[in-house]
A and B are shown apart, each in its own frame.
Chain A
Amino acid sequence: GDSVTQMEGPVTLSEEAFLTINCTYTATGYPSLFWYVQYPGEGLQLLLKATKADDKGSNKGFEATYRKETTSFHLEKGSVQVSDSAVYFCALPSYSGAGSYQLTFGKGTKLSVIP
C-alpha cells in the first residue's frame, strides 16, 4: 500500500542553520504530497503542498519539491528560527475505495532550534 518514510528525529539545530527533513514515498501514480507542522500542544496545520511532479510547494520560508525520479518530497529551509521548533509530518492521500481518500502520515520528525 501507499506509504511515506521520513527521517527519524529528533533534529537539533542552532538558529540560522540550514534544515533538511527527508521524506520518500511509495504510491501508485503521482499523488499530491503534503507537509504538516504541529507546534507544541496543538493540532496539525498544513505547511505546504504540491499536487504534481516537479511542483515546488513553499510557505514561511520552507520549500519542498515533488521529485518523481527519486520519489521524494524533502522539506528545506535556509535559515531556521527558534519559532520553527515543532514536529513535521510528511503525508500523502491513499485511495480507500468508493471515491474516498485517507491521508497517510509519516511518523513525524521533531525539530528543536536553539538560540
Chain B
Amino acid sequence: DGGITQSPKYLFRKEGQNVTLSCEQNLNHDAMYWYRQDPGQGLRLIYYSQIVNDFQKGDIAEGYSVSREKKESFPLTVTSAQKNPTAFYLCASSLRQGAAEKLFFGSGTQLSVL
C-alpha cells in the first residue's frame, strides 16, 4: 500500500544532542512537509520541499534542518539549538504544491527531552 512512513514513533533527546526523524513516502509525490504539533496550538509548518534538492523554511524553522536528496525521503534534524523540542512531529506529502492539493500525513513521531 502507498503511504508515508515516519520513524521512530517515539524518540528521546538528551541535552545538546541532535536527533533525526525519518520520513519516507512511496506515493511519488513531489512536495513534502514537516509540521510540529503542540497541544492546543494546532499545526505549525517547519520546512517544506517542492522538489528534490530544494526546500524552504516555514514559520518555525529555527533550530531545525532538513535535506531532500531523494524524492521519497525528507528527514528532519532537530538540532541542539532548538531549546523546546518536545512535541509531536508530522510529515506530509502532496502530489504537487498547490492551493487545492490534498495532504497525506504520516502517523507522527513523539519527541521528548530526557
For chain B, which range describes its interface: under 10, 10 to 19, 20 to 34, or 35 or more residues?
Answer: 20 to 34
Q: Could you tell me if B90 and A107 are in contact, using CB atoms closer than 8 angstroms? A: no
Residue among A96, A103, A107 making CB contact with B103, cutoff 8 Å: A103
* Tally of contact residues, A, Cβ under 8 A: 24
A62: min CB distance to chain B, Å: 16
Q: Could you tell me if A102 and B105 are in contact, using CB atoms closer than 8 angstroms? A: no
B100 proximal to A (CB < 8 A): yes
Given contacts A102-B45, A102-B48, A108-B42, contact A43 B97 (CB under 8 A): no
A100 proximal to B (CB < 8 A): yes
The interface stretch among A17-25, A45-53, A66-74, A75-83 is: A45-53
Q: Could you tell me if B105 and A93 are in contact, using CB atoms closer than 8 angstroms? A: no
B72: min CB distance to chain A, Å: 17
Q: Could you tell me if A43 and B100 are in contact, using CB atoms closer than 8 angstroms? A: no
Residues of A participating in the B interface, judged by any CB pair closer than 8 Å = 31-32, 36, 41-46, 49, 51, 89, 93, 95-96, 99-103, 105-108
Q: A41-B108, A43-B107 are in contact. List 12 more A-B contacts (CB 8 A).
A: A43-B90, A43-B106, A43-B108, A44-B90, A44-B103, A51-B100, A96-B56, A99-B97, A101-B99, A106-B42, A107-B40, A107-B41
